[in-house]
Amino acid sequence: MKLIVKKEALLLDYLYENLDMPKKRIKQYLTKGDIFINNNKITKYDYKLYPGMNIIIDNSKNKKEFPFEIVYEDEHIYAINKPSGLLTIATSKEKEKTLYHILREYIKTNRKNEKIFIVHRLDKDTSGIIIFAKDEKTKNILQDKWNEIVTLREYVGVIHGKLRKKSGLIDEYLLETKTNLVYVSKNNEGKRAITNYQVKNENDKYSLLNIVIKTGRKNQIRVAFSSINHPIVGDKKYGIKDNFNRLYLHANRLKIYLPYLKKEVLFETTIPNEFKTIMKG
């Protein structure tokens, strides 16, 4: 059974209002973990619902939960919180350990009639929000106008050291070697990359930044802070040797205009716990 939320409400009240079902049975579904909101199992009666959320009641024995957070879902897109260390899509060397493959296999098991299409991607080592389309038409619309419809691309990152300027802009031109290493051009050749930052917290070793990019270049943020000698913590490609097992860069906020809704939608995730821990020293 599937419902698309039409108004703000509390979960139990909304289900009772919209289903021909006694409250006692709805409570049983919640207690047994049979109710999923945007594919996340929910057991709280007073869980807050917002328009566009997807409710599924599934009491089958072979139901399968999606292993990552689904930030948002409607009839046309998914917004997924990708973990660090996972490819977005397949490469010549890796076909199955990708977010696309995991989501596709989940859909095959739970929603046989759905499809998915990749809209954009993040670096393997960067965590955060990625958009998938459920139909090819939506994919083409979003991809073709991506730079126009995306109005905010915000990241949180941890860098080595302290910055003298607590807010600023890094404006560079980037080129790429034959071995896929991105570097700063000395003669303004290549693609322009504009990176804004603001220091939110710092200690003796590290600084926590809010980062907003105006351009979406490959490895842009990692190269930007490496170029000013304050590389992202855990960056084995552009950084310095450290003992961290993940890249401390997370795409935490993405605002895009969705043409089929005729409005902007902000997708947002919490800051990973590792980022908070490292700043405690």
Q: Give residue 232's domain range.
A: 150-252
* Average pLDDT in the chain: 91
Q: Does residue 75 belong to any structural domain of this protein?
A: no
Which is the catalytic residue, given 58, 123, 125, 235?
A: 123
Residues 6+ apart with CB under 8 A from 78: 70, 72, 103, 116, 131, 132, 134
What is the CATH classification number for the domain harbouring 20? Answer: 3.10.290.10
Does residue 72 lie within any of the structural domains? no
Is 192 among the domain residues? yes
The last residue of a domain, from among 37, 63, 89: 63
Q: Which of these three, 63, 92, 117, is where a domain ends?
A: 63
Express each pLDDT in 231-268 by its tens digit: 999 999 999 989 898 999 999 999 999 999 999 999 99
111 belongs to a structural domain: no
Express each pLDDT in 156-188 by its tens digit: 999 999 999 999 999 999 999 999 999 999 888
Q: Which of 27, 47, 63 is the last residue of a domain?
A: 63
Q: Is residue 267 in a domain?
A: no
Domains identified in the chain, total number: 2
Active site residue 20: no
pTM assigned to the model: 0.78
Long-range contacts of residues 94-102, Cβ cutoff 8 Å, at least 24 apart = 99/68, 99/130, 100/132, 102/66, 102/67, 102/68
What is the share, in percent, of the chain residues with pLDDT greater than 70?
96
Which CATH number goes with the domain that contains 197? 3.30.2350.10
Measured between alpha carbons, how far is 67 from 156 in angstroms, rounded to an integer?
23
